[in-house]
């Protein structure tokens, strides 16, 4: 018998042997059914192939057309859930902003399972999008690393020192799109490697496309991204 990570209720029927061996269990091992149903998964929806947002037709959204033109390629981002439910907003608030590290377990297994299935780690290197030093000092962890715990991943991207920079979360959409390259790279060349960028939320794509530029400069063959939400 286990406890749901989010509501902390015992959910005996969800942790029976039959349950644990089922596909459903793989997907929502750590959440009770009631909590899990409040999130809106994107993986079976019709999405934009560039950024993973819900679309009525599976075609590039206007933003991705713009990225295609300015960047000469797309991240083909995949997001597991929409950010637009109150369940996801609450979750991100509690985990990331209030810093409840235990909550990484709510999506850790599912996130890792998806990554391993779609981006075999022999062929793909995982690059974690960093948080800035101030956040790291107050919160004490990177939310993405929490979900990747136990996997082999790279933290060679670093945030440049903030000099009057505003936090991404406080910026408007226009401010985000105008922001400058925020990263430094301190790792080895990645000649001919495939790089999978991992972040929590895909918002405008601006940050992830800056990370993509660095990966390409370092010799990467393909660069894609995955986020928990979109």
Q: Which residues bind Zn ion (CB under 5 A)?
A: 4, 6-7, 32, 35, 48, 50-51, 61, 64
C-alpha to C-alpha distance for 224 and 50, rounded to whole angstroms = 10
Q: Which residues contact 101 (CB under 8 A, 6 or more apart)?
A: 95, 140, 141, 146
Tokens 């644990």 belong to which residue? 20
Residue among 11 and 190 whose Cβ is closer to Zn ion: 11
Residue among 54 and 155 whose Cβ is closer to Zn ion: 54
CB of 204 to Zn ion, least distance (A): 11
Residue among 13 and 133 whose Cβ is closer to Zn ion: 13
CB of 175 to Zn ion, least distance (A): 20
C-alpha to C-alpha distance for 145 and 153, rounded to whole angstroms = 8
CB of 64 to Zn ion, least distance (A): 3
Q: Which residues contact 122 (CB under 8 A, 6 or more apart)?
A: none
Strand order in the sheet with 78-81: 78-81, 222-229, 194-201, 124-128
Residue among 55 and 159 whose Cβ is closer to Zn ion: 55
C-alpha to C-alpha distance for 158 and 52, rounded to whole angstroms = 25
CB of 37 to Zn ion, least distance (A): 10
Residues 189/219, Cβ–Cβ less than 8 Å: yes
CB of 153 to Zn ion, least distance (A): 25
Residue among 35 and 144 whose Cβ is closer to Zn ion: 35
């Amino acid at each position: 018998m286990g406890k749901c990570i989010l509501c902390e209720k015992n959910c005996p029927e969800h942790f029976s042997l039959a349950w644990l061996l089922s596909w459903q269990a793989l997907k929502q091992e750590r959440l009770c059914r009631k909590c899990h149903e409040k999130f809106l998964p994107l993986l079976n929806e019709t999405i934009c192939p560039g950024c993973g947002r819900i679309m009525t037709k599976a075609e590039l959204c206007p933003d991705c057309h713009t990225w295609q033109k300015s960047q000469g390629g797309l991240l083909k981002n995949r997001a597991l859930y929409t950010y637009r439910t109150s369940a996801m907003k609450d979750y991100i608030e509690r985990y990331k902003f209030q810093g409840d590290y235990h909550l990484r377990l709510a999506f850790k297994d599912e996130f890792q399972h998806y990554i391993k299935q779609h981006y075999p780690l022999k062929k793909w290197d995982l690059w974690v999008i960093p948080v800035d030093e101030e956040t790291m000092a107050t919160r004490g962890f990177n939310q993405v690393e929490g979900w990747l715990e136990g996997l082999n991943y790279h933290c060679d991207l670093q945030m440049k020192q903030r000099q009057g920079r505003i936090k991404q979360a406080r910026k408007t959409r226009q401010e985000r799109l105008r922001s400058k390259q925020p990263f430094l790279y301190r790792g080895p060349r990645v000649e001919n490697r495939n790089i999978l960028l991992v972040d929590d939320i895909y918002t405008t794509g601006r940050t992830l496309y800056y990370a993509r530029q660095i990966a390409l400069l370092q010799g990467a063959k393909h660069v894609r991204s995955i986020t928990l939400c979109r």
